[in-house]
Amino acid sequence: MKPTPLTIAAVVAVVLTYIRVIFFTPLEALQGPAQKILYVHAPAAWVAFMAFGLVAVASVLYLWLREDRLDRIAESSAEVGVVFTTVVLTTGPLWGRPIWGAYWTWDARLTLTLFLWFIYAGYMVLRGALDDRATRARYSAVLGILGALLIPFIHLSVYLFRTLHPQPILMKPSAPSLPTEMLTTLLMAFASFTLLYVALLRARYRYAVTRDGAHPPEGHGAQ
């Protein structure tokens, strides 16, 4: 598969962002270079949530409209989401070790992210364990919807274990609590990661189309 202009643009945007992160963004006074991991961690988390949100939306729409395309979107978005969740779960401990003194704590957000990873890893295993395309689409849509319903419950139950995670920097009622230079870099990282997500989603979707075209559904149960 040749890289599309979108993929190239996404990769270039990410590379430019990290050139800025490494060479043109000041060091944080207390945390030093460790703080720069924020520019990977936070946008990856944003993309993961967006990806799983799209899985839920595509799943509901699939059960309603029965469009194969919607199933392929859910499939692609879940897979890309798991990749970004893995990035979140890897970069977090790398930062946590020098700053918190521990790779892992059972903080509400960490636990929630870990369970997101479990839910959608299960989602991918379920897909792999089903051969019939229509059954696979229906089952995974059901799991995609229930998974989205579960998230607030996990969040509520683990929230009662006091949270240690840094509080929101951008999405909060008062003004963002970052110096302008760092804020610009962070916003660039969010934008380039979103672009990367769209590019990966499209590439994964095109793969699903090619695959389904190569193995046309046989007989009953696959209309």
Partner 1 sequence: MRELLRDAWLIARKDLTIEFRTRSAFFSAVVFSLLAIVIFYFAWDATAVAAIDLAPGVLWVIFTFSGLLGMHRSFGVEQPDRAIDGLIASPVSRESIFLGKAIASLVFIVAVQVVAIPAVGLFYNLPLSGVALPLAAIALLAAIGLVAVGTLFSAMAVNTRLAELLLPMLALPFFVPIVLPAAQATARLMSGRPVGDAVAWLKLLIAFDIVFVVACTLAYPYTLEE
In the block, residue with structure tokens 């006091």: 162
Minimum separation from the CB atom of position 154 to partner 1 (A): 6
175 binds partner 1 (CB under 8 A): no
CB 135, min distance to partner 1, A: 7
Least distance (Å) from partner 1 to the CB of residue 113? Answer: 12
Binding of partner 1 at residue 1 (CB under 8 A)?
no
- Apex 172 CA angle, 167 and 177, nearest 5: 65
CA distance 197 to 171: 20
CA dist 191 and 14 (Å) reads: 9
Select 6 or 151, whichever has its Cβ closest to partner 1: 151
Is 42 or 89 the residue whose CB approaches partner 1 more closely? Answer: 89
- Using CB under 8 A as the binding rule, the residues of this chain from 43 to 102 that contact partner 1 are 63
Q: Does 196 bind partner 1 (CB under 8 A)?
A: no
**Shortest reach from residue 85's CB to partner 1, in Å:** 13
Of the candidate residues 49, 100, 115, 205, the single one contacting partner 1 (CB under 8 A)? 115
Contact map string, positions 127 to 146, toward partner 1, x by CB under 8 A: --xxx---x--xx-xxx-xx
Q: How far is the CB of 87 from partner 1 (least distance, A)?
A: 20
157 binds partner 1 (CB under 8 A): yes
CA distance 26 to 202: 35
SS3 for 138-199 is HHHHHHHHHHHHHHHHHHHHHHCCCCCCCCCCCCCCCCCCCCHHHHHHHHHHHHHHHHHHHH
Task: Determine if 3 is a binding residue for partner 1 (CB under 8 A).
Answer: no
Residues in CB range of 95: below 8 A, 6 or more apart:
34, 35, 37, 38, 41
Question: Taking the CB of residue 176, how many other CB atoms lie within 10 A of it?
Answer: 15
Q: How many chain residues bind partner 1 (CB under 8 A)?
A: 28
- Secondary structure letter of residue 32 according to DSSP: B
CA distances, 93 to each of 86, 88, 97 (Å): 11, 9, 6
Q: Is 110 in the site for partner 1 (CB under 8 A)?
A: no
* The one segment of 77-85, 94-102, 119-127, 191-199 that binds partner 1 by CB under 8 A: 119-127
Residue ranges binding partner 1 (CB under 8 A):
63, 115, 118-119, 122, 125-126, 129-131, 135, 138-139, 141-143, 145-146, 149-150, 153-154, 156-158, 160, 220-221
